[in-house]
Amino acid sequence: MFRLDKKIAVVTGSGSGIGKAVAKLFASQGAIVHLVDLNEESIRTTAEEISIENGSAITHICDVASQQNVKEAFMEIGQADILVNSAGVSHIGNVETTTEHDFDRLYNVNVKGVYNCLQPAVALMKQQGSGVILNLASIANSVGLSDRFAYSMSKGAVYAMTLSVARDFIKDGIRCNCISPARVHTPFVDGFLAKNYPGREKEMFEKLSQSQPIGRMAKPEEIANLILYLCSDEASFITGCDYPIDGGFIKLNN
């Protein structure tokens, strides 16, 4: 079950975190994975780790916020059975403290970046009459999170784009879903704590972990497992859905 043998999978943000976990898992399941990331060193590391495990990976240094960069990358790729839009950035601040620069940065990567990848991927999938798209949304789609104004805006847009693509291209054999994680322990979290809470990293890590009723953050590999299922043939009846993967955050935080 959940094999992706010879499928062409494009994974953005695959240099670290969830994207990296997805790329490695897809490769282990037989996919030919195209790694798309702006960080050349990180993406090469991901490719090397996949190669060591006898997987197949091709790197594309690409800024998803640049439509021209993305078009050139997809021209090189040439075929896409699966697209996972994992590239994204975060921001802390409310509507008063969020600057125009902050807002534009979140929009350009998290919203426009997804659009930039959706457009060529959908065109390729229409030509072959099939395809699967998985977008990374967030629990911020469904609940109000303190000091996450711009981030929540961007992930709400990802959720809306998911539904739109699912509706518009269902007759072309294209499925489109999204998932909404709560906090996931990635290098971003460690960097955030080191920058904002020097000397208190362990204390704040525990506090953030306990905000999930399950009592911890998710591991990137756990998120990747759900993404694998939704992108596999076993999930062929699922489209236009958002799947919370949140340790009980949305329903049990009363």
Which residues are part of the catalytic machinery? 151
Those residues with Cβ within 8 angstroms of residue 147's Cβ, 6 or more apart along the chain or in another chain? 92, 93, 94, 97
- The candidate with the shortest Cα–Cα distance to 87, out of 169, 23, 172, is 23
Contacts of 197 (CB under 8 A, 6+ apart): 203, 204
Q: 238: helix, coil or strand?
A: coil
Can you state the angle between helices 187-196 and 201-210, rounded to 10 degrees? 130
SS3 3: coil
DSSP three-state, residue 107: helix
The CA radius of gyration of the chain, in Å to the nearest whole number, is 17
Residues 6+ apart with CB under 8 A from 7: 30, 31, 32, 81, 82
Please give the sequence-ordered ranges of beta strands (E in DSSP) within the chain, or none if there are none.
8-12, 32-37, 56-61, 82-85, 131-136, 174-181, 242-245
Q: Which residues pair with residue 56 across a beta bridge?
A: 32
User: How far is Cα 142 from Cα 100, in angstroms, rounded to an integer?
Assistant: 24
